[in-house]
């Protein structure tokens, strides 16, 4: 049985951290655990809120939980490895690459899922998801073929290639991250802000600030690769990707709040807008800033203009509501017994039918305000003197 593990060569030289590096690793791992705790609370809160609304598991739920657990497990096993509790082996390094693959894939799919919420053409986002997935799979396979032999110290050639390729793929992933976030910024500006939704300027500015934080995490990982201990930079992967996860959770909360504010501020209760659903209201076009609308948005804009014109015409010639005194058709002196109660009930029903046929948006809830007592001479109707 090998001394260190499966597929470890006999001349393997362990890279052991000194006390200073181990204390630094403990600090980084402690920060990662703190972010893990807060991320768990936020993931549970968002998952529970979406489950209550849709009663099923969607892609976003799966991605955030996979991102959380993969980052947490990488931090735990690598801290145990540097403390000497886990020996180096092919299965350990291969498992680390598998977790890193899940970690990287999930964070970019979360960004694309966020972009799909506001994109006009969802087919483009769907194709872009597969393109990014395939490109990152190629990077993952190349890293697995180079990084694992270099960590097992198969030959010096693998170690030299890994020193160059590891930094190169980190730069490539950072570029992909920036490009996807800039694409989201473009969608916010062209799809929301350019159509008059000024409240999404906050989302635009916050996302630009978050891009700088995400870039800082990528630069931090590349910088840590220059340390003497070749395993120490792996500790910054859980820290960096947990920060990225918090960014995505914050962006999801911000989008939900802005959509909720817009749905409350722009709600219309007329019958024609109810038929179009919750997305019928929300696009306020600005003249000269965006010309190529989608057909659905053009239909909704024409529908709103027609509705407003009909509402304006209805305000110039308001429909007269039936007055209470119209309910009573006969003098109270000539009504006796059950004849009076049945007459008032029939007249109230006919009044409701006339109000509905007039096309009123709101029919009075209490048209029959007449109080029908046991004796006819005790009848009191507003607008009619008591007999």
Q: Give tens-digit pLDDT for 374-384.
A: 444 444 444 44
Residue boundaries of the structural domains of the chain: 19-265, 271-316, 325-378
Work out the angle at residue 303's Cα, subtended by the Cα atoms of residues 301 and 305, and round it to the nearest 5 degrees: 70
Question: Is-contact 218 173, C-beta < 8 A?
Answer: yes
Whole-number Å distance between alpha carbons of 241 and 249: 12
Q: Give tens-digit pLDDT for 256-281.
A: 888 877 655 544 444 444 444 433 33
Closest CA relative to residue 236, chosen from 27, 23, 6: 27
CA dihedral in degrees (340, 346, 348, 350; nearest 10)?
-150
Q: Record the pTM.
A: 0.68
**Cα 233 to Cα 78, 184, 219, distances in angstroms:** 11, 29, 11
- 237 Cβ contact partners less than 8 Å away, ≥ 6 residues apart: 71, 74, 100, 103, 221
User: Would the pLDDT of 101 be above 80?
Assistant: yes
DSSP 166-186: HHHHHHHHHHHHHHHHHHHHH
Closest CA relative to residue 162, chosen from 60, 65, 234, 264: 234
pLDDT on residue 318 = 43
Whole-number Å distance between alpha carbons of 175 and 104: 13
**Cα 59 to Cα 37, 72, 100, 106, 237, distances in angstroms:** 22, 20, 19, 10, 23
Q: Give tens-digit pLDDT for 16-29.
A: 788 888 888 889 88
Question: Is-contact 234 74, C-beta < 8 A?
Answer: yes
pLDDT on residue 259 = 80
Whole-number Å distance between alpha carbons of 241 and 217: 8
Q: Give tens-digit pLDDT for 195-212.
A: 888 888 888 999 999 999
CATH number of 19-265: 1.20.1070
Q: Give tens-digit pLDDT for 219-231.
A: 999 988 887 777 7
């Amino acid at each position: 049985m090998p001394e260190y593990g499966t597929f470890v060569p006999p001349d393997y030289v362990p890279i052991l951290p000194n006390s200073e590096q181990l204390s630094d690793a403990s600090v980084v791992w402690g920060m990662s655990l703190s972010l893990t705790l807060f991320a768990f609370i936020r993931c549970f809160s968002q998952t529970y809120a979406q489950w209550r609304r849709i009663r099923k598991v969607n892609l976003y739920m799966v991605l955030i939980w996979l991102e959380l657990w993969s980052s947490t497990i990488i931090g735990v096993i690598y801290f145990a490895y540097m403390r000497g509790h886990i020996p180096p082996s092919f299965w350990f390094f291969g498992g680390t690459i598998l977790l890193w693959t899940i970690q990287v894939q999930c964070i970019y799919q979360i960004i694309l899922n966020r972009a799909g919420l506001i994109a006009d053409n969802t087919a483009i986002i769907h194709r872009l998801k597969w393109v990014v997935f395939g490109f990152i799979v190629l990077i993952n396979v190349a890293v697995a073929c180079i990084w694992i032999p270099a960590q097992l110290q198969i030959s010096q050639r693998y170690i030299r290639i890994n020193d160059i390729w590891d930094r190169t793929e980190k730069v490539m992933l950072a570029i992909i991250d920036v490009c996807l976030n800039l694409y989201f910024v473009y969608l916010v500006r062209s799809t929301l802000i350019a159509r008059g939704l000024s409240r999404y300027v906050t989302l635009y500015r916050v996302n630009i600030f978050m891009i700088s934080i995400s870039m800082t995490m990528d630069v931090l990982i590349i910088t840590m690769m220059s340390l003497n201990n070749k395993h120490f930079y792996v500790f910054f992967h859980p820290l960096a990707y947990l920060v990225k996860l918090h960014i995505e959770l914050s962006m999801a909360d911000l989008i939900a709040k802005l959509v909720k504010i817009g749905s409350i501020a722009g709600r219309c209760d007329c019958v024609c807008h109810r038929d179009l659903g919750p997305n019928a209201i929300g696009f306020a076009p600005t003249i000269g800033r965006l010309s190529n609308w989608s057909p659905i948005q053009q239909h909704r804009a024409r529908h709103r203009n027609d509705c407003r014109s009909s509402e304006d015409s209805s305000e110039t010639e308001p429909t007269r509501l039936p007055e209470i005194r119209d309910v009573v058709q006969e003098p109270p002196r000539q009504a006796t017994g059950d004849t009076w109660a049945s007459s008032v009930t029939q007249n109230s029903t006919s009044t409701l039918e006339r109000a509905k046929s007039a096309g009123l948006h709101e029919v009075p809830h209490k048209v029959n305000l007449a109080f029908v007592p046991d004796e006819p001479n005790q009848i009191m109707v507003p607008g009619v003197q008591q007999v």
